[in-house]
Amino acid sequence: MSLKAMNIFKIAGSHAVLCLSLAAVDASGCGVVHYLENKSNGVEVTANTCRSNDGIAVGSVFHLMPGARLWVKSLLTNSTEKSFQAICQNRSANAITIGVDSTDIPWIRPRQLSHCSDWSDNKMSCDSITGEQQALFCVLAAIEPARSMAASEVERTTSVTLRGLPLQKTPEIAGAAQSTTEFETDRLLAAMRPETELCRSLYQTDYPVKIDWTLDTNGRVTDIKTSGDSPDKEKVMNDAEIRYTDCVVDVVNYFPYPKPPRLVFLSARF
């Protein structure tokens, strides 16, 4: 990796580059990057030699339809504490092709575009050959996974830990119509916010959105509602605000929640 490329990631005030460990890539070349299909839209994958649905190999190609969003991530390895996630948005009126050309971050390289910028402040943009400015815009961030509670801490409480996020039963209250399960909400939202902030960086908006959602006993979102959180109640969302809201909804919908013993209702502003 060149010195120029090594200066593209500014994480927590310092420059850092993570090269994917070869141990994470199998003999077929799979494991370079994973495609998050649930959080992408309008994307077709071709020339992929991986057998798994989300594993992407060097040589694969992403085809982004107009307005499409591509979301990919690296995998954690024994030598890394963070994974990297990247989102690209096709802002042009034409399809855009992105190749997976390297095992090194940022893995991807746009094709048939002109005047692509260097990665700066974890952002990159390209103009189209027909003159559309910022026809493709990509952002990247390091995402630290939620960590599970220490075994001794679990033993001292009634918590149940699954996939890194604990939930804790509240005591039964006499006369209460229904007992609920109380998530450690601050910890849950802290684990979720790096991804929602990636959405904000992609669409470059300060628009605040409020989301209310319900989790069933399988840890799946069964009901989700959004509302603008702007002081101006008559405000009509612009395109960037609509797309940002959709991106955050996907983060909330497909987050790896714990399994609560009963329905849980959550609400947050992003």
Using one digit for the tens of pLDDT, what is the confidence trace for 79-111?
A: 556 788 999 999 999 999 999 988 888 899 999
* 45's tokens: 């994958």
pLDDT attached to residue 179: 37
pLDDT attached to residue 86: 94
The answer to whether 126 touches 113, Cβ cutoff 8 Å, is: yes
Same domain? For 200 and 259 the reply is yes
Print the domain residue range for 31. 5-143
* 181's tokens: 């399960």
Same domain? For 131 and 182 the reply is no
pLDDT attached to residue 233: 60
Stretch (H or E) spanning 237: none
pLDDT attached to residue 131: 85
Question: What separation in angstroms does the CA of 212 have from each of 20, 215, 267?
Answer: 36, 10, 4
The values of phi and psi at residue 26, to 5°, are -85, -175
Same domain? For 139 and 222 the reply is no
Same domain? For 17 and 138 the reply is yes
Which of 69, 14, 20, 34 is CA-nearest to residue 242?
69
3-class state of residue 148 by DSSP: coil
pLDDT attached to residue 145: 63
Same domain? For 137 and 156 the reply is no
Same domain? For 120 and 178 the reply is no
pLDDT attached to residue 16: 35
pLDDT tens, the chain, 270 aa long: 443 343 444 433 333 333 333 334 454 567 788 999 999 999 999 999 888 768 999 999 999 999 999 999 987 665 556 788 999 999 999 999 999 988 888 899 999 888 899 888 899 999 998 888 999 999 999 887 654 323 333 223 323 333 445 454 433 433 333 333 455 777 888 889 999 999 999 999 999 999 999 989 898 998 999 987 666 666 788 999 999 999 999 999 999 888 888 888 899 999
- Of 124, 143, 162, the residue that ends a domain is 143
Same domain? For 78 and 163 the reply is no
pLDDT attached to residue 172: 41
The values of phi and psi at residue 246, to 5°, are -60, -40
Same domain? For 104 and 129 the reply is yes
Same domain? For 12 and 139 the reply is yes
Count up the domains in the chain and report the number. 2
Same domain? For 131 and 164 the reply is no
Same domain? For 139 and 235 the reply is no
- Of 112, 143, 174, the residue that ends a domain is 143
* 106's tokens: 């940022």
* Predicted model pTM: 0.74
Question: What separation in angstroms does the CA of 114 have from each of 62, 106, 108, 111?
Answer: 18, 18, 15, 9
121 CB-near residues (< 8 Å, 6+ apart): 10
The answer to whether 60 touches 98, Cβ cutoff 8 Å, is: no
- Of 108, 143, 178, the residue that ends a domain is 143
* 117's tokens: 């910028």
Same domain? For 138 and 9 the reply is yes
